[in-house]
Structure 1
Amino acid sequence: MSSNFYESIPIFDEFAEAVRPENYCPLPDDWMVGFSDVVGSTQAVAQGRYKAVNVVGAGVIAAVANALDRRPFPFVFGGDGASFAVSGSDAPAASAALAAMADFSHDEFQLDLRVATIPVREIRAAGRDVKVVRYGATPHCVYAMFDGGGLSWFEAEAKRGRYALPPAAPGAKPDLSGLSCRWGVARAKQGVILSLIVAPHGDDPRFGGLVDEIVRMALAAPSSGRPITLGSLGVANPGKAIALEAAVTTASGVSHARARVSAAANYLLGVIFHVLKLKAGGFDAALYASDVAANADFRKFDDGLRMTLDCSPAFADALEARLAAAEDYANWGAFRQEAAQLTCFVPSITERGHVHFVDGAGGGYTMAAKAMKARFGGGAAAPATAA
């Protein structure tokens, strides 16, 4: 059945296999694609608000997931937004959650969130496609990857004002249960945190080989370039973490004062369990932290390769030199910073499939996209572009 399509396709447990074009499956025609991005994310970075931008982007995924009663669906986190696809039967609930998240982002975070949806059949009518693969980061945590050019095309259309969702119904709030931001930044161990976007320029067949080469380079780096490890996990600055989580909590309808008390209590409890490695009921703090590092989505593909890597400056130089040599068929942007950051969606602390969205702490994918735009101009096709 079309509604069960995503759960029926194979899971690849090797990232190098998950990015191979031949492994992607076309979405059914009656599915819907959703897109969101924070307008003015580059300015928000300059104001030091990139963590809030990440929270809004991850909030889109949390809102849609909760609206679908947490049934599996393909999504990808883009730093300043997210893209996803749902079956036709789930489209009304997902659209309502997306519109509610846009209103909430404006009211609570003072960040304007652009939101749009489109049927897959309309993307195909425009000459693009939307294909998906499932990548198992661990046996418990599965992420989606997208190919076919449809997401990039739809992003460009949405930024022209097409397919925009109307405002949410009065009083509508997104369900952001499980969204949290209690981990601190993870400082680079190898020298720099490199945020990288590599997107095709046209339909040159060499692009697939380039992606394969870049992935193999990253896999050969120390710890495969992982920016989030068990050793790098630490608690966040309490003031910022509590303020952001309190803002998220107000979506449930509680007052700001009550939300702040709840966020502070959860933060304190989390610190105690993490530091002392406590167990309670079905929760094991040490196992949970290990799963956080293992489940982190530091590499992905959505019409282009996107990675956040902990690497040496020399490795970053070599990677950028290889990409510079491929500029006749590949657009790319990179940004170096000192740390990575996590935004988490944890529907249940006793289940191991919780997801953790990785970005650079200094502007990450937004600044890499800005670098791409500066290098190749406004016509550069990118899986995520600076607003």
Structure 2
Amino acid sequence: MQDHISHPDFYGSLPLQTGFEELADGSAYRPLPDDWFVGTADLVGSTRLIAEGRYKVVNTVGAAVISAQINAAGGERFPFVFGGDGASFALPSAHQERARDALARVIGWARSEFGIEMRGAIVPLAEIRAAGHDVFVARHRPSPGVDYAMFSGGGVAWAEREMKAGRFRIEAAPEGAWPNLEGLSCRWTPMRARNGTILSLLAIPRPDADPGAVAKVMRDVVALTSGLERGGHPVPAVGPGYEWPPIGLALEAHATRAGGSLLWRKLQLVGETLFAWFLFRTGISVGGFDPKHYVETTSANADFRKFDDGLKMTLDCDAETRERLEAKLRQAAEAGLLSYGLYEQDEAIMTCIVPSVTSDDHVHFVDGAAGGYTTAAMAIKGGTA
């Protein structure tokens, strides 16, 4: 491992890893510089929200944490990870006030727009290391247009636990202090399982487990998915479906109205999405926007698997592979190596951050459509894994 020293573009200088299985062990990861911090947020009562059928709202609010930080960072690249009902990120200390403000605004927006309570925290890396944990990061490049951060070391998970205990808390911004959520959208139709089920999978190492043994299990789990079509990728290669009006139109209006009239923003989006639907149906390119290329890039860019102090995957999975995955995970759990959670549903959904429709750097967060990562995590909390 390198010394924990700062670098003008620490995250951007990290090597890009194209093989996902290579991220199972620590060789691809580097420690965050000493002067960085970790930000994290999640929804309070997400179980109730899911039971009420509001999981797309849950995903949108979780992704808003990342969207606000991207817009506040002024173009600087930084690591972030989407967790379904929340998100985590890391930035240099020079960004701390902007990050605090952006997170506080999202917390206030979630309350005022949706009646949802969010927790948020900013945790200095020095506090994480003093508690005996660390934060290592790698960059996974699933396609030429985008890359996603992978976290290891247990420090992000510790920061989340501290947040839930009430430490390092960020209070909501005053009402009317709107976050900048430009680019946040959720227009694609849910993607039905093509091979049996959409499987949400979490595998979390136990604190005292041997890292080498855990890494082998993680590699084995990823290898088991290699027999699935496109490794279990839930988004079709030709891209997801698009209907009009999109089911996420109202959510996007809440995200992007920035304090303006909700009705007016909905009317604007009706026009924008109708035009987009026409382009997708006809395949006509306009102003540098190629609809066929865009939907194919959307599929390639989708974030359906990650390492985030553990393995998280949203898979289009057949029954045989699901049984083999659970057998492998159960064996590892019985050996004291990890805890796991599984949850099956019929569809996957995507929440997107699109800086520009004419560039290929748009990001797409995938989760199960009926509980996903949040419900899989409940299995771990409930001791059923």
TM-score, normalization: structure 1? 0.94
Pairing 1:167-246 to 2, within 5 Å after superposition = 167-169=172-174, 171-205=176-210, 206-231=213-238, 233-236=240-243, 238=245, 240-246=247-253
Is the contact between residue 331 and residue 376 of structure 1 (CA under 8 Å) also seen in structure 2?
Answer: no
- How much does 1:203 deviate? 3.1
- How much does 1:167 deviate? 2.8
Is the contact between residue 32 and residue 87 of structure 1 (CA under 8 Å) also seen in structure 2?
Answer: yes
CA spacing shift, 1:236–1:69, aligned 2, 3 Å? farther
Q: Residue 313 of structure 2 aligns with which residue?
A: 307
Q: Residue 41 of structure 1 aligns with which residue?
A: 46
Larger displacement relative to structure 2 (216-225 or 358-367): 216-225
Q: Does 1:349 align with 2:354?
A: no
Aligned counterparts of 1:203 and 1:300: Cα–Cα separation in 2: 22
Q: Residue 380 of structure 2 aligns with which residue?
A: 372
Q: Does 1:18 align with 2:23?
A: yes
Q: Deviations over 1:271-317 (max 9, x none)?
A: 11112122011111100000000000000001000000001022111
Q: Residue 291 of structure 1 aligns with which residue?
A: 297
CA spacing shift, 1:20–1:278, aligned 2, 3 Å? farther
Q: Deviations over 1:37-79 (max 9, x none)?
A: 0111111110000000000011110000001123211000000
- How much does 1:170 deviate? 5.4
Is the contact between residue 191 and residue 310 of structure 1 (CA under 8 Å) also seen in structure 2?
Answer: yes
Pairing 1:1-387 to 2, within 5 Å after superposition = 1-169=6-174, 171-205=176-210, 206-231=213-238, 233-236=240-243, 238=245, 240-250=247-257, 252-327=258-333, 328-375=336-383
Aligned-CA RMSD value: 1.4
AA matched with 2:232: G
Is the contact between residue 239 and residue 298 of structure 2 (CA under 8 Å) also seen in structure 1?
Answer: no
Q: Secondary structure at the match of 2:382?
A: helix
Aligned counterparts of 2:309 and 2:27: Cα–Cα separation in 1: 14
Larger displacement relative to structure 2 (272-281 or 347-356): 272-281
- How much does 1:85 deviate? 0.2
AA matched with 2:114: F
Aligned counterparts of 2:374 and 2:27: Cα–Cα separation in 1: 29
AA matched with 1:289: V
Q: Secondary structure at the match of 1:342?
A: strand
Is the contact between residue 29 and residue 138 of structure 2 (CA under 8 Å) also seen in structure 1?
Answer: yes
AA matched with 1:146: F
Is the contact between residue 2 and residue 87 of structure 1 (CA under 8 Å) also seen in structure 2?
Answer: no
Q: Secondary structure at the match of 1:2?
A: coil
Q: Residue 3 of structure 2 aligns with which residue?
A: none
Point out where structure 2 has 5 or more consecutive residues left out of the alignment: 1-5
Aligned counterparts of 2:292 and 2:189: Cα–Cα separation in 1: 17
Aligned counterparts of 1:15 and 1:212: Cα–Cα separation in 2: 9
Moved over 3 A (4+): none
Aligned counterparts of 1:155 and 1:232: Cα–Cα separation in 2: 33
Q: Count matched residues.
A: 376
Point out where structure 1 has 5 or more consecutive residues left out of the alignment: 378-387
CA spacing shift, 1:2–1:37, aligned 2, 3 Å? same
Q: Secondary structure at the match of 1:168?
A: coil
Among the aligned pairs, what percent are the same residue? Answer: 44
AA matched with 1:226: H
CA spacing shift, 1:325–1:302, aligned 2, 3 Å? same
